[in-house]
Amino acid sequence: MLAVNASAGIDLHKGDHLKTRFQVDGENLNNRLNVIDFGGLFSGNAIGPPRSYALRLIAMF
């Protein structure tokens, strides 16, 4: 099983009292179906999360 994840970020402003950052995250970029099998007596199966993206704007002061 191979899921490709990526993340990139950039600092938009660095001041004495304020710092802002923009970040982009992507998970399971190849949209692979991941089936997880928990072997055992009291077990079951699970499906991994699908392709997802996230954009963040972070302000620190």
Distance of CA 53 to the CA centre of its chain: 7
The number of helix segments (H) and strand segments (E) in the chain equals 0, 5
Residue-wise pLDDT for 1-34, tens only, equals 578 999 999 999 999 999 999 999 999 999 888 8
Helix (H, G, I), strand (E, B) or coil at 13: strand
Enter the pTM of the model: 0.70
| Close Cβ partners of 26 (under 8 Å, ≥ 6 residues apart) | 5, 6, 7, 51, 52, 53, 54
